[in-house]
Amino acid sequence: MAGAGGTPRSAAVLGRPVEHSLSPVLHGAAYRALGLDGWTYERIDCDAEQLPTLVDSSPGDRIGYSVTMPGKFAALGHASVVSDRARIVGSANTLVRHADGWYADCTDVDGATGALAAFGDLPARPAAVVLGVGGTARPVLAGLAALGGVRVVLASRRDNAGPAADCGRALGLDVSTVLLTDPSLPGEIARADVTVNTVPEPGVRDLTGLIAGARRLLDVLYDPWPTSAGAAAQAAGVPVIGGDVMLLNQAFGQVELFTGLPAPRDEMAAALAEALGRH
């Protein structure tokens, strides 16, 4: 873990597109609250191919990077040391400079765990249905496993759930797969403690009929809010947590990895709420 020390440091978020990233809001609020005068955080437009060269040419004061798509797989591959969870999930959203290279972690797992815990009444061993099997589904599976989850149903448009299912099984979950059109899916959703939507707009719009039968919904999307899935949940009286809670919780871990200090959670939450206009 990097120590805060007394020397100003810089960090950045890498991605494409990156201009709308709220990571500078979160990290800037954290550095101010921690009294880290002179610490800066910027957005850098960067695709997966550019990431290794950019990271290798980092300025001397660069302590770390937040990494959004499409660079999360490249970040994992470029690191000298990789956390166990990043290895299992297969992507890294965080690079931290160490003396002998770059350390990769996936605090997206913290994002998922924190968002699931935000329901407040989730059973200790939750059963879940996850809609979508892309890169975002894997940190969600790790988050479920961290909360003691046992059974997960992965639902996909095509027969392509294998990599996500393998990830879930490596995490110790009992994973089964179905197509989104499978007639058994509404029943699975009704029985599950939580349904997680990882399908982006506009693809989720024809799935909103499934959402009404859920007990709880975590939608990894958050802007604009409500999303199609979030609106369907609200209309049906289904408790819903949005992806902004995931964003906030993944940033806590990044701040702590970059600074070596406990994340100022209240100040970061307030800054995000202000940025999203949700006071």
Residues classed as catalytic: 72
Sheet containing 240-241: order of strands = 174-179, 151-156, 128-131, 194-197, 217-219, 240-241
Q: How far apart are CA 166 and CA 175, in angstroms?
A: 8
Q: What's the gap between Cα 135 and its chain centre? A: 10
Report the C-alpha gap between 186 and 206 in whole angstroms: 14
Tokens 């873990």 correspond to what residue?
A: 1
Q: Furthest-apart CA pair in the chain: how many Å?
A: 60
**Any idea of the CA torsion for 106, 112, 117, 121, to the nearest 10 degrees?**
-150
Helix (H, G, I), strand (E, B) or coil at 217: strand
Integer Cα distance of 170 and 70 in angstroms: 24
Label the pairing between strands 128-131 and 94-98.
Answer: unpaired
Cβ count within 10 A of residue 114: 21
